[in-house]
Amino acid sequence: MVGTRVARRAVHVLLGAVVLLPYLAAGWVLVRTGTEAGAAVGWSLGVPAAAAGAAVLVLPGVRELATTAARALLDVPLPDPPVRSLPGARRRAAAWIVLGAAAGAVGAAAVLWLLPTAVALVQAPWVARPPLPTGPGAWWAVPAGVLLVPVAVAVPAVIGAGQARLAPRFLGPGREERLAVELARARDRAERQAGRARLARELHDSVGHALTVTTLQAGAAAELLDTDPAFVRRALTAIADTGRAALDELDHVLGVLHDDETDRTAVVRDLDALDGLLDGARAAGLDLVADVDTAAGVPATVSREAYRVVQEGLTNALRHGTPGRAHLALRRTGDGVGIELVNPAAAGGRGRSGGGRGLAGAGARVDLLGGTLTAGPDDGRWVLRARLPCGPPPVAPSPIGRRGGAGTRRRAG
């Protein structure tokens, strides 16, 4: 394995001589031209040729080729260069090519001089090779020639080992690129953290609401199991419906985790699903009166967040409120959607035993849309108010040919 590595590094050094050959050939032609046609002609051709030769070293792809060669032949673990290298990185790659050409010239010269010299020394006792001695007195030439062979091999190998140590400095990421990588990693971490926070809010809003409703329904059904079988039957049906909805929501969240675009948008609920949410809260025992305007023309994002705000308010009313009538008003105003939910509060304000992340998450989502959300005790009641901005409501259709009643629908408990 070590011998193979040494051989590969020697090949890398000799490749530098191959890169140098076109430049040497072009230089020889220019010198001959200048000698024969005059210095003015030589300079007029030499300056553009030198500029073109230097430009080749900073072309896109040169750094990638040099990195690939260094990884394959020098056995250096270099990272892949970015798609668009910075100017400083291109200059370092050009300097690496120049250094490699110089190293290749030294390595090739050593091999081309030492190997013929070794052959001549081995033949010296029998064949005259002036200025080398010959005859029996030149017996020492044979062992000297044999020793020159490993020296000829060792020179490019040693140069290749030096190149392997220098390659990360010339071809590895520079300070600017390392900073860009760190910034990209920090951005990715922030995006992942934001995704986790969003999923936590999704789980709290959807699954937490479903668990609250099913717990209250199951408790009420247990108390009335012997005296009101019809209520128990309705409660069990509601529990099954709520459980299925919670499973759909959980599938949605898992779809987001698995980056499945189809599942990601499959069960997102908005104001069109508000009837089911209100019916579930009533079935759980909340005495609710709802006054809900039409949601026509509400943007999808605002509609989803409005649904979540109402869901969080109803969940808190079920968990922490005291018996009494709750009032929900959802109105489509000229520039947005207004939500107000009022329910009796527990004695001494809101008796919360949990972490209170639901309202904080709802407030954060509303704030992202440019809206406002407030919640707190007010004269023995708990009042939640939210406003989500959106465009103006759609123009009402002409009464001619209209079928049905007004656009406002009211739900009473």
Q: Domains in the chain, ordered, with CATH?
A: 2-173 (no CATH), 286-394+404-413 (3.30.565.10)
Q: Which residues contact 164 (CB under 8 A, 6 or more apart)?
A: 9, 70, 74, 75, 76
The least confident of 135-144, 150-159, 257-266, 403-412 is 403-412
pLDDT for 88 beyond 70: yes
| 204: enclosing H helix or E strand | helix 175-223
pLDDT for 243 beyond 80: no
- Model confidence pLDDT, tens digit, residues 312-350: 888 888 888 787 889 999 988 777 899 999 998 765 554
The per-residue pLDDT for 198 is 67
Q: Which residues contact 365 (CB under 8 A, 6 or more apart)?
A: 201, 305, 308
pLDDT for 272 beyond 80: yes
Percent of the chain exceeding pLDDT 90 equals: 8
Q: Higher-confidence residue: 387 or 47?
A: 387
Residue with tokens 């939500």, as numbered in its chain: 339
Closest to 280 measured CA to CA, from 303, 311, 253, 304: 311
- Model confidence pLDDT, tens digit, residues 281-319: 887 788 899 998 866 678 887 888 888 899 888 888 888
Residue ranges in 58-140 assigned as alpha helix (H): 62-69, 87-123
Record the pTM. Answer: 0.45
CA dist 162 and 215 (Å) reads 72
Q: Higher-confidence residue: 127 or 80?
A: 127
Q: Which residues contact 259 (CB under 8 A, 6 or more apart)?
A: none
Q: Higher-confidence residue: 18 or 221?
A: 18
Residue with tokens 């499959």, as numbered in its chain: 266
Residue 309 DSSP SS3:
helix
